[in-house]
Amino acid sequence: MKDITKTYPIAKDYAKKYKKIKAYSIKGKQRGRGNAWNFGIEKSKGKIIVIGGGDMLCEEDYIKKGIIPILKGETVGVMHKEELCANPDKIWARAFFLKRSSTQHGNTWKMFHIIRKDYVLKRLFDPKLGYGDDTTIFRKEGTEFLVTDIKTRHINPSNLKDTWTHGVWSGASNEKPWIIIFGLPTFPIFALHKTIKHLKTDFYPPFILFLPFYYSVRYFSFFTGAVKRVLGKF
């Protein structure tokens, strides 16, 4: 598995091999994925945009199958139906999720990964939303996007450090940080509830002792992020 921190060098290598591929990098400090996606959208030449992070691994026909509903005029944007953990051999990664679905709203979802450029160019991502910037259009306009039968794998946080960093980012992005902060006295109940719920969907014996600790880490990382937001350090 390639190092996801080397996305730009890898992209440059592909650009050397294929004339249609262009590799760009934002100069200076990166300000989040939404900012990077906006940069890429504005640089793009095609009529359909595909976004993703360095932690995504798409099936071979992801784009080929995903653009069909857009080309048929059925929707402006598409979201994959299912996401699988790409590194389930790591207990931290498996705890993050083994499999997750984008069908909670039926056949639509609040995010997209493939979309018409003319549509998204007028509705760029809002980096201020942080972890939730990929729901910008849904939050501002209520628009949901078609879920279609394409799949991807996600490289989940695989250790304590990455899990903590992800949780802080998520907590700092929460628009109601006080709910997390005031929930401090009940965090053991939170950890126990999440553990039981998790075991019902993925009963993995090592989880019995690991998940209470895992969800305690998750809560306190959310808590730390929420405090940062309240203090204006987000």
pLDDT in tens, 143-165: 999 999 998 999 999 999 999 99
Task: Please give the average per-residue pLDDT across 184-206, as a whole number.
Answer: 96
Q: Based on the domain organization, do 47 and 88 belong to the same domain? A: yes
**Alpha-carbon dihedral angle through residues 224, 136, 176, 158, given to the nearest 10 degrees:** -30
Residue 234 has pLDDT above 80, yes or no: no
Q: Based on the domain organization, do 39 and 96 belong to the same domain? A: yes
Question: Which residues is 108 bridged to in the sheet?
Answer: 146
Q: Based on the domain organization, do 102 and 32 belong to the same domain? A: yes
Give the span between the Cα atoms of 86 and 96, in whole angstroms: 11
Q: Based on the domain organization, do 197 and 120 belong to the same domain? A: no
Q: Based on the domain organization, do 148 and 47 belong to the same domain? A: yes
Q: Which pLDDT score, from 0 to 100, does residue 1 have?
A: 40
Structural domain for 44, as ranges? 4-154
* pLDDT grade for 70, boundaries at 50, 70 and 90: very high
Q: Based on the domain organization, do 148 and 174 belong to the same domain? A: no
Q: Based on the domain organization, do 117 and 41 belong to the same domain? A: yes
Q: Based on the domain organization, do 109 and 195 belong to the same domain? A: no
CATH of the domain at 94: 3.90.550.10
Decide which of 154, 176, 198 is a domain's last residue: 154
Q: Based on the domain organization, do 206 and 164 belong to the same domain? A: yes
Q: Based on the domain organization, do 116 and 150 belong to the same domain? A: yes
Q: Based on the domain organization, do 41 and 135 belong to the same domain? A: yes
DSSP string, 180-234: HHHTGGGHHHHHHHHHHHHHHH---TTHHHHHHHHHHHHHHHHHHHHHHHHTT--
Decide which of 154, 180, 205 is a domain's last residue: 154
Asked if 171 contacts 226 with a C-beta cutoff of 8 angstroms, the reply is: yes
Q: Based on the domain organization, do 104 and 124 belong to the same domain? A: yes
Residue 89 has pLDDT above 60, yes or no: yes
- Which tokens belong to 143? 């628009």
Decide which of 97, 127, 154 is a domain's last residue: 154
Residue 3 has pLDDT above 80, yes or no: no
Number of domains in the chain: 2
pLDDT in tens, 13-60: 999 999 889 998 888 766 678 898 999 999 999 999 999 888 899 998
